[in-house]
Amino acid sequence: MTTALILIALYGAYGTFCIRFLLHARQWLEGVCSSTVPGVGRKSGPATLACAAADLLLFTRLLRTNGALWIGEWIFHVSLVLVLLRHLRYMLEPVPAWVWALQPWGLAAGYLLPFALAYILTIRIATTQELYSSRRNLVLLAALFLIGLSGVLMHALRKPDLVGIKAFMMGMVTFSPAPWPGGLLLTLHVILAIAIVPILPTHIFIAPVTIMEARMRDDGLHGVLHGR
């Protein structure tokens, strides 16, 4: 019964998220196609690409706005990417060599993740601006903190059944259900991961193209203002 409930929740949550993502991407695309803002839709040059890459990888816009928050956000996002890549070993068979190579980095990032989130939460709660402390953002960050903390506790204190987790995840991916391996921390870890799906901001998954569009818009407006 537990296995069925968790599978239904996983499929339902991530299926709903995919629909939300597609609707958001369609809305964004329609907005870009109908935009009359200078720079939108024009061909990008090397300088624009370089600036957009810096915005995406180094969060330069946030650095200019809030340096204290920037360091925490950058460490958090890098750690999260490494942790997610580490988790690919549960969903791929055979596991690619590059995923195995990232395992030590993902493990270190997993321990760093809760500290980065605690730092971000502290900064955001202390900041009175709504931009940094909206209720939805705080709930999402708190849930991510608990997910990261439960992951650390599982690794450090009570290791779960890794073989059982692999079998369950492979069964989910291939639509051939396997028994849920159980364990209080693991169940909490997965329930929290399911719970945050409805509040995940879908725009982050098309961040590269939206950042590029924003950079081209800035360049276009700059050209208009300076008669370029």
pLDDT tens profile 6-48: 888 888 888 888 887 787 777 766 655 655 555 444 555 566 5
pLDDT of 23 = 78
pLDDT of 10 = 87
Helical axes 135-156 vs 184-195, angle rounded to 10°: 160
Domain ranges of the chain: 66-195
pLDDT of 131 = 52
pLDDT of 80 = 93
With cut-offs at 50, 70 and 90, classify the pLDDT of residue 5: confident
What is the enclosing helix (H) or strand (E) of 58? helix 46-58
pLDDT tens profile 169-218: 999 888 888 899 888 999 999 999 998 888 887 666 665 555 666 655 65
Q: From its phi and psi, is residue 42 left (phi > 0), alpha (psi between -120 and 50) or beta?
A: beta
pLDDT of 14 = 83
pLDDT tens profile 52-94: 666 667 777 777 878 888 999 999 999 999 999 999 999 998 9
